[in-house]
Chain A
Amino acid sequence: MFDELKKLIKSESYFFLITPAFIWQVAFLVLPVLFIIILSLSSSQGLDLVRNYTLHNFSEVMSMSHVRIVMRSIMLASCTAIASLLLAYPVAYFLALYIKRYKFFFLFLLSVPFLINVLVQVYAWFFILEKNGLFNQVLFFLGLIKKPVNFLNSSFAVYLVMFHVYLPFMIMPLYSSLEKIDIKLIEASYDLGSSFRKTLLHIILPLSMPGIRVGFFLVYVVSFGEYVIPSLLGGMKLFFVGTLISEYFFIGKDWHLGAAFICLSWGMLFLSAMMYHWIFNKIMVQSKIIR
């Protein structure tokens, strides 16, 4: 009896090995997400949180002001992702294909900002953007402004710092896909007489497309729900998705509306991500036709 049990445990050992992590994942990731969906479809009564299934929350959330906030977050995420893609690509190219020496040093230099506390980075920007900060001093020195401008609590500050914080997120996927390119292909392209521009467009860019996709969608999705930067730099009036969610859950205490808003905003995020996916595919097809 005991031997058989032992045998069973041994032959099915993978089951016991994978269970804890799976249970953890289901209990603390899948269930909470499902619970948000349940919350969005119900209303509370007294102390009972889940009672009376309705669609009322959604009809309330589907207003113009909410949709405008979601659109604002989509705009912010798009700008962050596109700008960081364009500006990080040359750096990833430099790391993967250009330098031979000091590569380790540069890799370290560019991976430090990736893991620095976001709060510290936001706090550091205070010193540049505040009234007597560096930015104002430089603009004053150049004669562009007469008196100090407060850059804090504006959408400009939010856009700038978002871009700064999410740049390093873009470099690593781009670097790892550029690194994998067989250098012989590039050499062959040069040997056959094509210019740098042609090689870039027809060899390097198409081969690094997986990295571009991963980097773009990573930055796009993660920056969409950003909470810290808008709440510290956006001021009281400028709401984004992340700040409005925390408003619902902390200050308004209306969890059902908050949950409905999460569902609405992530639905719109999904649609816009599909749109970008479609655009990427279109670009891929186009570039093949040109070749």
Chain B
Amino acid sequence: MKLKINKYLLPLYVLSFCLFLYLPIMILMMYSFNEGGFPAEWQGLSLRWYYDLFESVEIWRAFKNSLIVAVGSACLSLSMGLMLVCGAKQLKKNIVFFFFSNILIPDIVIAVGMLSLFSYFMVPLGLITLVIGHTLLGLGFTIPVLKSRLDELDYRLVEASYDLGASSLYTFRYVILPFLYPAIVVSALMVLIVSFDDFVIAFFCSGSSAQTLSLYVFTMIRLGISPTVNALSTIMLLVSSFFILAISILQARLANYE
């Protein structure tokens, strides 16, 4: 009897746990297809909020801003992270710990600190300050991922490349980079997601000119429930879960190679 409880209790618990995690999102998605304006009543299936969404100029502008910031900070944090990881490998000292603080320090402290520093030096707030902040967050994600991958590289391969007369740039291009490739894709996707999702740094460091998607959603929520936000949230959810699927497939493949 006791064995039977053990056998079914845990999967059942995990299922209800997942249900708890997903229930609010499911309901949100359901109401984005609701015909009626006020979301409490179900009035039949329609796509009218999605039409509204694609016609809104404000949302497209916010999306464009978010895209610029996300791609810019992904490129910057990825290139700096790559350089740092390779440099740290040569230095043979563990300096990577310095960058763990980016995730551990709550983003409100970073945001407020940057806001006051920028205004002290009269730096105008806008997309550039936003890219700066998100690059900082991105460094905290890219560097651990890249470092753990680089640590797995058999260093004899690099030495062999040097022995056979390759320059350091050539070695980087044809030995190190292909090996790091999956980790680079994973960390780039992570930075993209983090930048798209970040609200606090955008709230403090973007000024009034640059509205991102998260800021738009925040102001809309402040105004109350609107089905357009449901439609927008549904699309954002689908896109980021697609990205996460790509990340997990890549990571599973990384684990299988070992």
Contact = CB atoms under 8 A, between A and B. Distances in A.
Contact of B114 (A13, A32, A115): A32
A87 B113 CA distance: 35
Interface in B23-79: 23-25, 27-28, 31, 39-40
A255 B87 contact: no
Given A29-B136, A108-B244, A119 B199 contact: yes
B125 to A, nearest CB: 13
B216 to A, nearest CB: 10
Interface string A86-97: 010011011000
A87 B73 CA distance: 35
Interface in B69-96: 80-81, 83-84, 86-88, 90-91, 95
B139 A21 contact: yes
A122 B221 contact: yes
A205 B227 CA distance: 46
Interface string B190-219: 100110110110011000000000100110
A224 B106 contact: yes
A15 B10 CA distance: 52
Interface stretch (B149-157, B177-185, B234-242): B234-242
Nearest to B104: A221
A104 interface: yes
In this complex, which of A15, A39, A120 has the most chain B Cβ atoms within 10 angstroms of its Cβ?
A: A120
Interface size class for chain B?
A: 35 or more
A274 B101 CA distance: 18
Interface in A29-46: 29, 31-33, 35-36, 39
Contacts of A31: 113, 117
B237 A120 contact: yes
B233 interface: yes
B132 interface: yes
B1 interface: no
A222 interface: yes
Contact of B217 (A10, A117, A127): A117
B225 interface: yes
Contacts of A249: 112, 115-116, 204
Given A28-B114, A87-B17, A13 B87 contact: yes
A283 interface: no
Nearest to B248: A108
Nearest to A107: B248
B245 A119 contact: no
Interface string A11-31: 001111110111011001101
Contacts of B241: 112, 116
A140 B90 CA distance: 66
Given A115-B244, A121-B25, A262 B112 contact: yes
A123 B11 contact: no
Contact of B80 (A20, A121, A221): A20
A130 B40 contact: yes
A7 B244 CA distance: 44
Given A132-B40, A245-B112, A116 B6 contact: no
B74 to A, nearest CB: 14
Contact of B27 (A98, A124, A232, A262): A124
A139 interface: no
Contact of B28 (A109, A112, A124, A222): A124
Interface string A192-236: 000010000000000000000000001001101111100010000
Contacts of A94: 10-11, 13-14
B229 interface: yes
B109 interface: yes
B135 interface: yes
Given A90-B10, A98-B10, A17 B86 contact: yes
A21 B102 CA distance: 12
Interface of A: 10, 13-18, 20-22, 24-25, 28-29, 31-33, 35-36, 39, 49-50, 87, 90-91, 93-94, 98, 104, 106-113, 115-128, 130, 132-134, 164, 167-168, 196, 218, 221-222, 224-228, 232, 242, 245-246, 249, 255, 258-259, 262, 266
Interface of B: 6, 10-11, 13-14, 17-18, 20-25, 27-28, 31, 39-40, 80-81, 83-84, 86-88, 90-91, 95, 98-99, 101-102, 104-110, 112-117, 119-120, 132-133, 135-136, 139, 143, 168, 190, 193-194, 196-197, 199-200, 203-204, 214, 217-218, 221-222, 225, 229, 233, 236-237, 240-241, 243-245, 248, 252
The 8 closest A-B pairs by CB, nearest first: A32-B113, A17-B87, A225-B106, A124-B24, A18-B87, A124-B28, A14-B90, A21-B84
27 contacts: A14-B86, A14-B90, A14-B91, A18-B95, A21-B80, A24-B80, A24-B135, A25-B139, A28-B132, A31-B113, A31-B117, A36-B113, A90-B14, A93-B10, A106-B14, A113-B21, A115-B193, A117-B233, A119-B218, A124-B24, A125-B24, A127-B27, A221-B104, A221-B106, A232-B218, A246-B203, A255-B116
